[in-house]
Structure formats: structure tokens, C-alpha cells
Amino acid sequence: MAVNTETAYPALSDVTAAFERIYPPGWAASWDAVGLVVGDPAQSVTRILFAVDPVDAVVDEALDWGADLIITHHPLMLRGVTSVAAHTPKGRIVHRLIRAGAALYTAHTNADTAFPGVSDALARAVGLAGPLRPLDPDATDPEGRRGIGRIGELKEPTPLREFAGQVARGLPATAAGIRVAGDTGRVVSTVAVSGGAGDSLLGAARAAGVDVFVTSDLRHHPASEFIEDHGGPALIDIAHFAGEWPWLNDGARRLEEELAGGAGPEGANVEIRVSTTVTDPWSQAVPHL
């Protein structure tokens, strides 16, 4: 995304305020940890890197590029810690960022429930067309557009095996690829998707009457019991990282537009990049020989 050198650099507080107009922290689940993790609100921001995970490889990419703000989907401090000493994994990230003068901001379940949000981007990446509706609607949204997961339609009915290939092609490649449960010859039209772990939404997918549910981190027993109860949706299990990565482009574009609108016709003097670092923790899948 282009930089306009005619305007002043915005403060971090201005950037986070713009981002929170798009993804208000109040939309996050009560257990979540979103917002500014590291950084001085008064510091200037020139380059922003969007990424899924706040891990060393992403920090390497950001600092090599000269980013002074990283916006990640996953929190660094989701669970409480009693130390950020530099010899701990989370502490090492904090120390690296502070030494480099770089900030870290997280948008997690507030980006999941937003319209458009994480699952909207996933739905489009795997080929859903037309309007989308929430799989698990947010009861606080009077318009009924926000919520976790999305339901939509394929352009035309497609055998499950072909749709699975379409899903694989639409997402970043990971070592484990995707897994399919159900009759691969079954023709599917209505699809539910949810970025992130989707075990808790299996019941919602069945109740919605969809043909297939695309999500991540499905465990053996819930998936087995779900498929054994005949007549419900097929399942496609994708890598957690891959299912959330498509949102990065949407989040980056929407922030760029919000900053440009707030800075007037000249736009904001900020360069935004989406990370291409694959942060899926599974580095290899070994086939049976």
C-alpha cells in the first residue's frame, strides 16, 4: 500500500483510535485480551504489519522491514502472566519490541464478530457468493449482521471432494493441509464457515441445516460423534492460521481507508503490509509409506 510523503506521520494513539472505530474493543468476548499490548501512544507510526500470530518470526519480519506497529489477530497475553522477563517466550517478544521502539496491538474476537470480520474473509476465500449471515448471531446487534461464523451459498452445487479442493486452493498452504469428514461424493450448496476453533459451533451448524461446515481445530470425539449422527453437515477442518489469514487483507484495507478519511484528501502517511510468514505451528506432516 502506497505511502504519501506529503503528510505528517500519525501518532500511535491516532492509529489505534481509527482501528477501534472499525473493530470496537467492546465487541470482544469477556474473556478476551484485545487492544494495545506494547507501545507509547505518543510515538509516530510509519509502517504497520498485519499478522495472525505475535511470534518471533513475525517480529523478525516486522523489524527487518522497519515496521513500528504490528497488528495481530491472536493476543500475546491472552492468559495472565506474572513475568515478562526476557528469558520467557512472551517476555522475549515484549523486550524485542520495546528495544526496537515498535508497538503491538491485538484485535481478536472483536474482529471475529465484526461485519465484515474474520469469517466474512474466510467465506469469500473459499468461494461463497452472495450475502452472508452469522452462524452464531451477536444478540446485541439490532441489525443481526454481527456474530461468530458465517453462512453462505456456493455459486453452484458442488461435490464435497471438489469443494474441499477449492478450500485448499483458496487458503495459504500449510504442512497438514485440510481434512474432510463425510461422503466426498455428496453435493454441497450451503456452507457455514468459522475462523478459529469451531468445536463449540457444531450444534449451530447442524441447526442451521448447512451442507458442510468449514472450521479449525476439530477434536476427534466431537467430530466422530457429529458425523455418526447421520443427516447433518459434512466437516472440513482447516489449519487455524490459514482460516484467519484472509482477514489480514481486509483489516489492512479498512484501516488504510479509515486513516485516509481522517487525514483528509491527502491520506495518511502510513505504509501497511500483510505478513506472508506462515505461523502455523505444525511444520511437517509425515504420510504413511
Question: What is the model's pLDDT at position 6?
Answer: 54
Kindly tell me if the per-residue pLDDT of 266 is higher than 60: no
Cell of 94: 515484549
Pick from 178-192, 219-233, 262-276: least confident: 262-276
pLDDT category at 82 given cuts 50, 70, 90 is confident
Taking residues 248-255, report their average pLDDT: 98
DSSP-based three-state secondary structure for 62: helix
Contact 113, 27 (CB under 8 A): yes
Mean pLDDT, the chain, integer? 94
Query: Exposure of 207 by Cβ count < 10 A (0-12 exposed, 13-18 middle, 19+ buried)?
Result: exposed
* Edge-to-edge order in the sheet of strand 103-106: 35-38, 103-106, 69-72, 47-51, 271-274
For residues 257-281, average pLDDT = 84
pLDDT of residue 268: 72
pLDDT at res. 265:
47
| pLDDT tens profile 12-69 | 999 999 999 999 999 999 999 999 999 999 999 999 999 999 999 999 999 999 999 9
